[in-house]
Amino acid sequence: MTGASSGRDDESDGGVDGSGNDAGDDDTDSPPNATVSLPADVVGRYRKFSRFNSPYPAHRRGRAIDLYPGDGVGRSPVAGTVREVRSVGCPDRPYAADEDHLIVVDLAEEWCARAGAPPGTVARILHVIPEVSPGDRVAVGDALGPTTRSGFFGQWVDDHVHLGFRPPDANPLRASGSLPVAVDVPVEPVAWDGTGSVVERGPTHVVLDGPRREDSRRDGSNRDEYDAGPAFAALASDEGVPVDGGLAHYAGGGTFGVGEGAAATAGSALSLLGTRIGTATEHDSGAEPGAPRVEWAPVDVLANGERVVGLSLFAARGDRFGVKVVCPDATFEVGESVTVEVVHSDDPIRLGVG
């Protein structure tokens, strides 16, 4: 995988509803206006989260979120009653399972009220092997089952819980027309000079030890794994805006809210390591479901002078923070120093869902 995608390489919301339709597809032209805002104490139970690190339309349009638990347990981000569970086939990947799973939850009224969701809203949860059954009541933090290595993932993708929401009376097996998703969590932007040492190596990626958060007290090492923990952090653009998504191997990415401090506004240019990487853009709904998305500029990412697929960006807390370099054709050893550059490209890498 060195150029265009040879399959569904995502970070990710794949899945099939059983009728051959992509459950990650979100092709409606008139999305609902209601926005589901995940509370801080829900998101804080996970090590990482991302709204835009995927080529799938639901993520590109701000209507899904991926939550990374870090321990292989798919914990529920919602409270309610399980309506349905379904297992479906996956694209054939040597590194992945041959089936994925969908858990549909009728949300409790109290949870809907906290998140600003209309009563009767339904949650769609993917990439968890269900150990729950229809009729079971679940609370936030309950174990739904182990996470799975879905064939809809790129090989560099960490196990995670994909979460989307369907309005009342809509088909819960489809993602089309899903509600916008926002996150009620400020994210600390962390500046980076493009350098770091490899601390993790996988078949198609490496993780660097940079950038580092300035406040070492926020490392989360002495806190319970599932409490709200410290603030999340993400790689900052040169303008100080925390950035989300696959830079720039997916067509678009996004930004995170920061509470107080720099934030992206529609039409503002973003740069990284001295190169313009894109423009902040309003969501298609016209209403703002959380921080703006970003249309990437035509750029390449270089690691030690060699073109790589890109940077996989997200918000993280604790010692999980560090840039992930997607580099299936490059070999970097643990401990090796890496310098990342971003340069203009006439032929940028773009991975799709086909």
Residue 230 has pLDDT above 50, yes or no: no
76, 92 contact by CB (below 8 A) = no
Instruction: Using a pLDDT cut of 90, give the percent of the chain over it.
Output: 60
Averaged pLDDT, 64-86: 97
User: For 319-334, what is each residue's pLDDT tens digit?
Assistant: 567 899 999 988 899 9
Range of the domain at 95: 36-183
Same domain assignment for residues 306 and 324:
yes
CATH assignment at residue 95? 2.70.70.10
Averaged over 337-348, what is the pLDDT? 97
pLDDT in tens, 18-46: 333 334 444 443 344 689 999 999 999 99
| Listed residue (220, 273, 277, 196) closest to 244, CA to CA | 277
Name the domain boundary from 183, 210, 237.
183
Q: Quick: pLDDT tens for 184-194.
A: 888 989 999 99
Q: Are 174 and 208 in the same domain? A: no
If you average pLDDT over every residue of the chain, what do you get?
84
Kindly tell me if the per-residue pLDDT of 302 is higher than 80.
yes
Collapsing DSSP to helix, strand or coil, 59 comes out as helix
**Tell me, what's the pLDDT at 214?**
67
Backbone φ and ψ for 42, nearest 5 degrees, come out as -80, -55
Q: Which residues contact 338 (CB under 8 A, 6 or more apart)?
A: 195, 196, 197, 198, 206, 208, 303, 304, 325, 332
Tell me what pLDDT residue 23 has: 41
Number of structural domains (the chain) is 2
pLDDT digits over 194-210, tens only?
Answer: 999 999 999 999 999 99
